[in-house]
Chain A
Amino acid sequence: MFETLKTYLPFIIPLLLIQLALMGAAIYSILHQRHFRTGNKALWIAVSILVNIIGPVLYFTLGRDDHAGDY
């Protein structure tokens, strides 16, 4: 088992780093956001943590209100 894991370690470590970075950035942004284009704070936190990689990407493309500061 450990041998198989070792073969794929060069793949797993960068993937894990990207996932953690995306999740961290998403949660930081969600906590500092008052208005959302769709959904709410709790929903996006849950999505960002539970759905790997795609969750944070969805938040940044659909949930984040880029013009929140305008109004």
Chain B
Amino acid sequence: MKQFNVFLHKEITENLRTYKSQILIAVFLLLGIISPLLAKLLPEIIGSIGLDGLAIALPEPTALDAWTQFFHNVSQMGLLCMVILFSGLMANELAHGTLINLLAKGLSRTTVILAKFASASLQWTLAYLLCLGTCALYTAFYWSASLHHGWLVFGGLWLFGELLIALMIFGGTLSSSFYGSLSLCAGAIILFTLLSLFPDAVSLNPLSLTSSTQALLTNSQSITYYLPAYGITAVLIASFLLGSIWLFKKKPL
């Protein structure tokens, strides 16, 4: 446990010194501000295009629009940014050989993987909560907010982010390069997107965690329908972490 704490501390210090945490926080704070702003501005933007003689009836923006924008931005820009920032999580150290000394002095390889996952999760959770809080504040200020399924809707996107972190650690351990991490993530998302072509598999697809939010917010689908996807994502996270530990133990440095 002491090894874990020390290595976690080292990871967090590294991310602070390389400005990765600060950038992540800034980007997510930005997304939290921009989402309600876009929802508020969208009717004016469309109105200003000025289609001659064509009257478009635009409804007043609501809290739902703000949350739609939130999920749209965070699941694309936000996750992309997180993936780029964390893609060197395993790869940088494996490529530079900075772990050799620590491992030779008796640091367990399981600890390395788990502490890296913990530090990335911690930063992702913090950034996500900050983004969520900012968006919630603005939404409550401009509209009277009431949400279907309450805060449970937000858990899906968070869990999907955790899955991407686990995938990046697995890809980095496998290939020792950050291109490996990135391509494994991209490959997984392409696979999930292909899977979503089959309507029967929607409730099982991890990608539903990010794409189902609209249906959940408008209450057109119940959360129990998507529960298998939550379960499968959790199992995938655990298996990718166990896989990384197993791979890392076999890997010569």
Contacts and interface: CB of A to CB of B under 8 A. Distances in A.
Interface in B75-90: 81, 84-85
A45 B198 CA distance: 48
Given A11-B33, A11-B37, A57 B22 contact: no
Q: How large is the interface on A (under 10, 10 to 19, 20 to 34, 35 or more residues)?
A: 10 to 19
Contacts of B26: 18, 21-22, 57
B246 interface: no
Interface in A19-71: 21-22, 25, 29, 53, 57, 60-61, 64, 66-67, 70
B96 A61 contact: no
B23 A60 contact: yes
B221 to A, nearest CB: 32
Contact of A25 (B19, B29, B138, B141): B19
Contacts of A67: 92, 96
A64 B18 contact: yes
Q: How large is the interface on B (under 10, 10 to 19, 20 to 34, 35 or more residues)?
A: 20 to 34
The majority secondary structure among interface residues of chain A is helix
Contacts of B236: none
A60 B33 CA distance: 22
B96 A8 contact: no
Given A57-B26, A60-B19, A61-B85, 20 more contacts: A8-B37, A10-B138, A11-B33, A11-B36, A11-B138, A15-B33, A15-B34, A18-B26, A18-B30, A18-B33, A21-B26, A29-B19, A53-B30, A57-B23, A57-B81, A60-B20, A60-B23, A61-B23, A66-B18, A67-B96
19 contacts: A10-B138, A10-B141, A11-B37, A11-B138, A14-B33, A18-B30, A22-B23, A22-B26, A25-B19, A25-B22, A57-B27, A57-B81, A60-B18, A60-B20, A60-B23, A61-B84, A64-B19, A66-B18, A66-B92
Interface of A: 8, 10-11, 14-15, 18, 21-22, 25, 29, 53, 57, 60-61, 64, 66-67, 70
